[in-house]
Structure 1
Amino acid sequence: MLHELFTPSVQHWLDIVGIFVFAISGALLAVRKNFDVFGIAVFAEVTALGGGLFRDMVIGAIPPAAFTDLGYFLTPLLAAALVFFLHPEVERIQGAVNVFDAAGLGLFCVTGTTKAYEHGLGLTASAVMGLATAVGGGVLRDVLANEVPSLVRWDRDLYAVPAIIGATLVVLCIKFDMLNAGTSAVAAFIAVVLRLLAMRYGWRAPRAWNRRSRAASTDE
């Protein structure tokens, strides 16, 4: 199904763009943590490829695309080198990086869902794999940095919810035989817009009803 939505070359470059912007975010966190050049490269690779690796191992797409396409592996290293030498400049355009990160989130929740469905998973499981593809790298990045993953922190803007909505729209399109390049683009666009609005207006997921904890954040 996925190969019918986009040509292989278009799909490849969409993946590369998503990988690059996720790698930038991972490398920037490594710089903030004062890690060395190897740490910067590791964080770039893990953030960019972690979600896709997890998805491919679960669905049985072995060896994972990250190990069969040299471009997938080298792109995070390019992003790491860029951040290593130019991180003050990259920090100054953090707003633009966030926009591209949102675009990567929208793209990967769509492509991850469709790839999982192609490999025989049901609709619900495919949506879960779409979510994992979009956010898995960020979770691994935060765990390596010894931080509570942003995915589960109430004091961070919505991240998983836009990906869940995008993946859900994809499986609904599959269910009603409406999945094509246009509807896939709409699903990705909605996920991106929701993520951007969450960042703009500080939207957050609700905490437990009538919670009595006085903790201000998950760090406390």
Structure 2
Amino acid sequence: MVTAILNPLVQEVLDLIGIFAFALSGALLAVRKRFDVVGIAVLAEVTALGGGVFRDLVIGAVPPVAFTDLSYFTTPLVAAVVVFFWHPRLARIRRFVLFFDAIGLGVFCVAGSIKALNFGMHPLAAIALGAATAIGGGAIRDVLAGEIPALLHPESEIYAVPALLGSGLVALLAVLGALTPITSAFAALLAVVVRLLALRYGWRAPLARGGSSL
């Protein structure tokens, strides 16, 4: 069994950073959609916690930490309040949504993979669960906001690939016994940078040839 030995405090800090970043992206999207304060709070919560709850249910970490650690539940509310009272001008909101979403993606793919490894999951399963942790909340956010999830949108820049790269690097480092807070941060940075580069240069996953004629 491969384990990812990190200080529990480091694990929690990673989780809370990802939660806050994703909550900001959810709340900012709610503002762009003209949701009221309740809608902003709901979108912040589900974006921040959706992927982690799914991961915890799969690995058997029940009840999910989102419902046992008050800081996990209140952090998105803090982000929602920040966005409600202070947000960029409307024309700039989409850029901020994508930026914070990229940060959350990078941090969550690492934190999710580490937790899965620590619960005895095979490295390949840990990679999948790390990616699911990273993209799950964003997918729920987009569905509730009436948008096609970035994961599935044919015109969207690559979304799952950066999460898989970050999760894959975590699993490889764990197998090699080289996973540390520094290398974990590098894995998260890799995912963030790839996602931001994809947004900057329009990198997209290939489509099936001739699919439009079916």
Normalised by the length of structure 1, the TM-score is 0.86
- Percent sequence identity is 59
Q: Secondary structure at the match of 2:86?
A: helix
What are the within-5 Å matches in structure 2 for residues 132-211 of structure 1?
Answer: 132-211=132-211
Q: Distance in 2 between matches of 1:54 and 1:61?
A: 10
Letter in 1 for 2:172: L
Q: CA deviation at 1:158?
A: 1.4
Q: Which runs of 5+ in 2 are unaligned?
A: none
Q: Distance in 2 between matches of 1:36 and 1:47?
A: 16
The answer to whether residue 79 in structure 2 is matched with residue 63 in structure 1 is no
Letter in 1 for 2:14: L
Q: 1:91 to 1:28 in 2, by over 3 A?
A: farther
Matched residue count? 212
Q: Distance in 1 between matches of 2:80 and 2:213?
A: 40
Q: Secondary structure at the match of 2:87?
A: helix
CA offsets 1:130-184 (integer angstroms, 9 cap, x no match): 0011010011111222322111112111111100111112222233333333332
Q: CA deviation at 1:197?
A: 0.7
Q: 1:50 to 1:101 in 2, by over 3 A?
A: same
The answer to whether residue 29 in structure 2 is matched with residue 29 in structure 1 is yes
Q: Which runs of 5+ in 1 are unaligned?
A: 215-220
Q: CA deviation at 1:12?
A: 2.6
* Structure 2 match to 1:126: 126
2:110–2:167: 8 Å Cα contact kept in structure 1? yes
Q: CA deviation at 1:90?
A: 8.0
Letter in 2 for 1:54: F
Q: Secondary structure at the match of 1:208?
A: coil
Normalised by the length of structure 2, the TM-score is 0.88
1:18–1:101: 8 Å Cα contact kept in structure 2? no
Letter in 2 for 1:162: P
